[in-house]
Amino acid sequence: MDLNFTSEEEAFRQKVRTFLEENVPRSGLGDTREGREDKEWLARAKAWQRRLYEAGYVALAWPKEYGGQAMDPVKQSIINDELVRARAPYLIGGSGLGMLGPTLISWGTEEQKQRYLPKILTAEEIWCQGYSEPGSGSDLASLKTRADIVGDEFIVNGQKVWTSGAQHADMMFCLVRTDPDAPKHRGISYILIDMHTAGITVRPLVQMTGDRGFNEVFFDNVHVPRKNLVAKLNEGWIVANATLFHERNMLGSASGSEQRFNRLLALAKTIERGGEPVTKDPVFRQRLADLEIKVQAMRFHALRQLTDQIRGKNPGIESMVNKLVGTELNHDLATVAMEAMGDDSMLAREDPTALDKGYWPYEWMFSLGLVIGGGTSHIQKNIIAERGLHMPKSR
């Protein structure tokens, strides 16, 4: 097996790296990955995605007719690695790029693809995900938000919760119940809702990081054109799962974990315990070694998935493994950093004396959210056990 990139791919990597060195915004976007209602911040975040898109570095694998470049997945993977390496700000249009876009490419009508995909790429329209409801998280199919068909419209009533980015979203991909009498998985439809429509109220929820990243969203007789239905009426569950699959693939990044590990190592070398750097402590060294073994295992897992993609094989249960192991690993890395820092781990980002600019306490809280969001670890384990290992179904 040859894990090296070709010389053409290496040249591409160098080109991307140079571009990022010259263009990554170093101020004004900060490390915060969610929230911020500030309009100027939003404009800067959109401008950054647009800049990257215009340089040809966004969604390379998408079909050309919708603004992509139909390139092989290796180049996209190189870009993803380089973005992490350059500590580039996250892309504000991530939900559209990583979740809705690939779903529409497979399931959308031609009109929907033409209408929505190009504006996802340029961050002209920002999307949010309306799945979870009070009482319907892991048991998503029990959702109650209703859409009744009146003429050529859906009339939507109900409530979503934990909706990331709804405060600045223009559109929502949303699961609604269109047949209350059908078995719960069969009466759901997948629709696209303009967030500027009358009858929608967005109420922010404050996370433990202090960010206002997610929201409650209320629908009171919201009119949605019927042409905004994706796939068939009452058959939204299968589309919902396609989106979830893309989401889970997006949540664990091997290069992101590798970069966090390197940052943890650099931090640990600066912290003394008993007159020596903590990296000389045999117990701490053992913990670092355990983490690095997991980081490397994830790296090879990512390379295996890339090989499958190049061969045109649909990724299966591997994306669940990414999500499960990647998000827990990121939280473990932050936990070890917090332990190494001791009392200093109490100092947050705003404190000028905080170690490593207060990155770790924030990361520790933020990474815990990702262990839950997109389906909790327990749910990933159930799916891996049932569909990957073919073990008996949990009750």
Ligand X SMILES: Cc1cc2nc3c(=O)[nH]c(=O)nc-3n(C[C@H](O)[C@H](O)[C@H](O)COP(=O)(O)OP(=O)(O)OC[C@H]3O[C@@H](n4cnc5c(N)ncnc54)[C@H](O)[C@@H]3O)c2cc1C
> Which residues here bind ligand X, judged by CB under 6 A?
128-132, 137-138, 162-164, 214, 369, 372-373, 375-376, 378-379, 382, 394
Which is closer to ligand X, CB of 89 or CB of 375?
375
Spatial distance between the Cα atoms of 380 and 378, rounded to a whole number of angstroms: 6
In 10 A of CB 53, how many CB atoms?
A: 20
The Cα 334–Cα 328 span in angstroms is: 10
Name the minimum Å distance from CB 211 to ligand X. Answer: 10
Longest dimension (CA), the chain: 76
Shortest separation between residue 197's beta carbon and ligand X, angstroms: 18
**Which residue, 206 or 266, has its beta carbon nearer to ligand X?**
206
Euclidean distance between CA atoms 238 and 242, whole angstroms: 6
Residue (98 or 375) nearer to ligand X, CB: 375
Q: Please state the closest distance from residue 214 (CB atom) to ligand X, in A.
A: 5
Q: How far is CA 279 from the centre of its chain?
A: 32
Q: ∠ CA(133), CA(137), CA(142), 5° rounding?
A: 75
Cα 189 from Cα 238, distance rounded (Å): 9
Nearer to ligand X, 85 or 212 (CB): 212
- Which of 133, 235, 247, 328 is catalytic? The answer is 247
Choice between 68 and 93, CB closer to ligand X: 93
111 is catalytic: no
Other CB atoms closer than 10 Å to residue 8's CB: what's the count? 10
Report the residue number, 277 or 388, with the smaller CB distance to ligand X. Answer: 388
* Tokens found for residue 290: 């355990």
CB neighbour list of residue 343: distance below 8 Å, 6 or more residues apart: none
C-alpha 312/C-alpha 310 separation (Å) is 5
* Minimum distance, C-beta of residue 169 to ligand X, in the bound complex (Å): 9
- Name the 3-class secondary structure at 391: coil
Closest listed residue to residue 230, CA positions, set 97, 317, 117: 117
Smallest distance, ligand X to C-beta of residue 19, A: 30
Shortest distance (Å) from residue 256 CB to ligand X: 16
DSSP string of 228-274, one letter each residue: GEESSTTBHHHHHHHHHHHHHHHH--HHHHHHHHHHHHHHHHT-EET
The CA distances from residue 377 to 36, 40, 114, 165, 247, in Å, are 28, 36, 36, 22, 14
Residue nearest to ligand X (CB): 137
Nearer to ligand X, 166 or 231 (CB): 166
> Rounded to the nearest 5°, which phi and psi values hold at 97?
-70, -45
DSSP bridge pairs for 216: 203
CB 51, min distance to ligand X, A: 25
Catalytic residues: 247
